[in-house]
Chains A and B, each alone.
Chain A
Amino acid sequence: MTIAVSFEKITCTFAAKGGGSYTAVKDVDLSIAAGEFVSVVGPTGCGKSTLLNVAAGLLKPSSGVTRIFGEPLAGVNRRAGYLFQSEALMPWRSALDNVTAGLEFRGEDKAAARAKGEDWLARVGLAGFGDRYPHQLSGGMRKRVSLAQMLILDPQILLMDEPFSALDVQTRSLMENELLELWNADRKSVLFITHDLEEAISLSDRVVVLSAGPATHPIGDYRIDLPRPRDVSEIRLTPAFIALHDRIWHAMKEEVLKGYRQTRNRTSA
């Protein structure tokens, strides 16, 4: 089995505002196999996004090594696509120009890029919306454009940072199903960050639970052996799903409460 991403003793320490330092993640060992869909769940503010930025090469860890298909990562991870939590589209570019941006950066032929961009817009259900600007699209549509923008470059690894957390519930389960369908077509390795355990279980092959921060590290690793293809809203009602949810939630609960207490103390202090 090929390992797509592996974290080896990753530690990230940041300089804190009032002097001193804050260790967000400590000694994280985690690996994602090629073609595997792994979700990372944990309490809010526990450093999930930090881990993702390390995998993307946007953040250099204080210590430890990230290996991408066996090679140590230096600089930006060129084999990965990143779906951000907040708005990441270039507002001055139309949907189509946003989708083809990566191809343009690579210096690909304009006409070919355009055709490919139209094709990808159609694949994410936005055929005919190419000339709209981001502000003329709804939140769900903007996420689809982002998805197409990432997938058009055919990355081997997908990094996703709570991509659907800002969407309403209906749009969200629609998008989750579409993501699974797209992923099913050519099984890329996925590292999916979320705080929503249900989302994590319904999408993934494996769910990794992180401890509350500071010094976050994995405290549980669960294989999700639910059958595929899945429908995210239907699978949530099956007994197997509920049993898994109970098990993982049991392990997570203490950490969530700990994280909640810490944020509360931090805000009240």
Chain B
Amino acid sequence: MKKKLWIWQCLLLVAIFAFWHVATHPEILPPFVWDNPDRAAFFFGEPVKIFKAVYVWFAGGEIYPHLWVTLQETALAFVIGSALGLGIGLWLGLTPFASALLDPYIKAANAMPRVVLAPIFMVWFGLGIWSKVALGVTLVFFIVFFNVYQGVKEVSPVVLNNATMLGASRRQLLRFVYLPSATSWVFSSLHTSVGMAFVGAVVGEYLGSAKGVGYLIHMAEGSFDINTVFAGILVLTIFALVLDFAVSFAERRLLVWRPTQGETQPH
């Protein structure tokens, strides 16, 4: 069943590209929306040319430095944002006064559309990778922070009492109970936060940079080279899928202790 589904999914993908090709190629169909037969290709690009552009990127090796920069930005934004979210989430989760004091500010900061900060980060950190990392961090931080904060409040009081009775000091409770519990919440938001780090990197590059896949798209757009724009989008999509796959793999390795639904229990 699963194999069959996989075949159907591939067929659907082929069908989409075939439709795209037929609808945009100037010579296959008579023009039916625009009078000019080249107009469809101008707006929507042509799959063959897009694939060619992607091929040239990879074959010529031109794309690798850009991908590497985007990957670096994503990874740094994820790691720094998660670490900050974990630390501050733990701190506020364990100190009711500080969390009550900062509550409205955190809500305001989270409600603010963070993309508008990008120009400010560019002024602060320049056009290199760090302004993109900063943007990604602001996106990742809140996801991890809210998850950890909630996670700390929901640590089972029985588990806490048990650890206390087993002789754990306050610091040991933090290290052996709160931290692992909070980390598991970080992992439960892993897909979203890695995705957000990626969004921050690409949007940052798009708004001003000299390297990265977002920069490639931006440059192509400036010269109305729609095929290269789509090629960039295609590369980003595949890159995001690979990233998501890597995250799923890491998750499976790190959360073995978590019950999965439908798993049988030995008796």
> Chain A: residues with CB nearer than 8 A to chain B?
56, 58, 76-78, 80-82, 84, 86-94, 101-102, 104-106, 132-138, 146, 149-150, 153
Contact = CB atoms under 8 A, between A and B. Distances in A.
Nearest to A133: B257
Contacts, number: 80
Contact of B165 (A80, A104, A138): A80
A133 B265 CA distance: 11
B184 interface: yes
Contacts of B161: 56, 58, 82, 84, 88
Contacts of A150: 165-166
A140 B177 CA distance: 23
B156 interface: yes
Contacts of B116: none
Given A105-B169, A135-B258, A135-B259, 10 more contacts: A76-B164, A84-B162, A88-B162, A92-B180, A101-B166, A101-B168, A104-B176, A105-B166, A137-B265, A153-B166
B237 interface: no
Interface in B178-221: 180-181, 184
A88 B167 contact: no
B267 interface: yes
A180 B167 CA distance: 25
B29 interface: no
A153 B259 contact: no
B167 A135 contact: no
B172 interface: yes
A92 B165 contact: no
A86 B158 contact: yes
14 contacts: A58-B164, A87-B158, A90-B176, A91-B159, A92-B184, A101-B163, A106-B167, A132-B266, A133-B256, A135-B258, A135-B259, A135-B265, A149-B162, A150-B165
A48 to B, nearest CB: 16
Contacts of B259: 135
Contacts of A93: 180, 257
B265 A136 contact: yes
Interface of B: 156, 158-159, 161-169, 172, 176-177, 180-181, 184, 256-259, 265-267
Contacts of B265: 135-138
Given A91-B257, A92-B181, A135-B258, A58 B165 contact: yes
A67 B266 CA distance: 43
B180 A105 contact: no
B240 to A, nearest CB: 29
B236 to A, nearest CB: 35
Contacts of A94: 257
Contact of A138 (B167, B176, B267): B267
B259 to A, nearest CB: 4
Nearest to A101: B166
A150 B180 CA distance: 21
Nearest to A140: B267
B166 A149 contact: yes
A94 B164 CA distance: 19
Contacts of A153: 166-167
B178 to A, nearest CB: 11
A88 B164 contact: no
A105 B165 contact: no
Contact of B156 (A87, A101, A102, A133): A87
Contacts of A78: 167
Contacts of B169: 105
A90 B161 CA distance: 11
Nearest to B161: A58
A92 B162 CA distance: 14
